[in-house]
Chain A
Amino acid sequence: MQRTVFKRKSKRASKLLDTIRSIDRLLLSNTINDKQKLLRLREKISLVTMYALELENKLEIH
């Protein structure tokens, strides 16, 4: 049961990484206005995602 829950969460964290990749693709395109705002949000997204992954690794170690 614990493992199933962990797998589900792990999948969600991976999805976040996929989302970050698509965000980066979007930022690289020239169709976006006000990139500064978006870049700041991108920083926050990656920071929180890294926290989530770090916690996931800790859970894995345990």
Chain B
Amino acid sequence: MQTTLAIFLLLLAGCGTQLQKIKPIPNLAFSVSNELGNTSISDEIEETPIYLAYDMREACGDSRAVACYNAFNIKITSHFLENAQEFCLTLAHEYIHAFYQLTTGNLDRYHKNTDYNILSLTACNQQTTLSNMVLE
């Protein structure tokens, strides 16, 4: 019993350390290395889906957070975001979407007024890969 408890506490401590590591910082934790013709997504940018997930969880709940994480992760890994500007524009739209989702009556109007496709978040939601630990 004591051994089980000790293992559990060790695991808990391990999770705590990891969570501490990925704790979101007040401002968006990305920097953009941008030169015309030399736009790249840096390591910091690759961590952005996690920060985005935290923000979305706070704003809209876990399911939206997971959807955002997956959608953004796919965009980054598939090089959908061809440069830093594209990255910022897309990220802004994710936050805007969350904003309008919280003001539910206005979400439809937002979609009518923009040609931006939220990159089939519903489809991405099916491919949930985000570890529960990240969101706990």
Measured CB to CB, the residues of A under 8 A from B are: 9, 12-13, 15-16, 19, 23, 26, 32, 34, 37-38, 40-42, 44-45, 47-49, 51-52, 55-56, 58-59, 62
Which residues of the partner chain A approach B85 to less than 8 Å between Cβ atoms?
9, 13, 52, 55-56, 59
Is B123 interfacial (CB-CB < 8 Å)? Answer: no
Q: What's the minimum C-beta distance from B77 to chain A, rounded to whole angstroms?
A: 20
**A-B contacts at CB below 8 angstroms, number:** 76
Q: What's the minimum C-beta distance from B11 to chain A, rounded to whole angstroms?
A: 32
Q: A16-B89, A49-B88, A49-B92 are in contact. Are A41 and B32 (CB under 8 A)?
A: no
Is B9 interfacial (CB-CB < 8 Å)? Answer: no
Is B131 interfacial (CB-CB < 8 Å)? Answer: no
Other-chain residue from B58, B95, B110, B116 in contact with A48 (beta carbon distance below 8 A): B95
Q: A26-B103, A38-B99, A41-B59 are in contact. Are A55 and B92 (CB under 8 A)?
A: no
User: How far apart sit A19 and B96, CA to CA, in the bound complex (Å)?
Assistant: 8
Which residues of the partner chain B approach A13 to less than 8 Å between Cβ atoms?
85, 89
